Structure 1
């Protein structure tokens, strides 16, 4: 079986977090769909709450270290990325945007990205289309057609009912991401070519 790398970025601030719950459900759906295609998935979870101080330090210094540096490298080498943020004041969370701001300019260029968001009510669901999609379009990510928004009430009413719109949409979103990832060659691990010298380096000074 071939293998793909899926990075799951969750920007929930509370513990437990409905944002992390949605991220995990989307990851599970994607992994299941990849497995149905004979592909194993290596999933790495990036919990921004745990990296908040490092994110701020990196914005101030320009240099990422430790677990944050590893998370940024994982994003660069991912075959697919799932991002989920809570919606505050009609847009994505500040911590989420700060993490996106410290990504390298081309880190998500051409990378399949599945968008998810959580909020107190369905009134916030449009934030995915007017805030998240433009952001990842600017980053030249391959944003998947189906996004998933989960309001607080959705978790109470969905339960184990597979006919509920939320589980159904999660499955569809996971299927779309899996199809896109499966149709592409595996990404080269981040940093694999960083140490390869150019011809000018090999030839030395003129």
Structure 2
């Protein structure tokens, strides 16, 4: 299907059949995503067992953006896979202490973690499945998601440095919605041929899952946490 015909078909709201390249990208993305989730969970488990402290906001941001930019620069080579595992492993390292904090802070902390994890999984499966079968084009979400994430990120920094719990909670709600939108957008981009690099697709979906889980964990802790 030519690009013009593809655009015309999408604009009319009709479904677009995946071509072989889109299937390959989707398959590779899901395979790499599954491996990175397992690797990140393993690193998080080790950090929890060893009771490693959280590296702090500055180190977390420097490590995250540094590895993210490295992955983007190497996305067309095998080294990009290595930096993808480095990035997701680092994120697992940062999430372990957070989970430990919740299980210590709340008497039902284990249930909160399981609930956040289960809700994240259900949301990801549901949104990805919907993106694959819907006739609606969600490409318009791209600029809105970028702007929304930027605003939420800045608001999160303000809430952190000025100790504003209410704003922090609002940011968690914003991120939960934005990450759901990003999962929907990115999956449809793969299906419709807008994303052809499975490494970057994997990173985007992993970051969406990571942030969605953390946002839900904070929301569940606020509304359902028992001290």
Task: Please give the TM-score of this superposition, normalised by the length of structure 2.
Answer: 0.25
Give the structure with the higher percent strand. 1
Give the structure with the higher percent helix. 2
Task: Please give the TM-score of this superposition, normalised by the length of structure 1.
Answer: 0.27
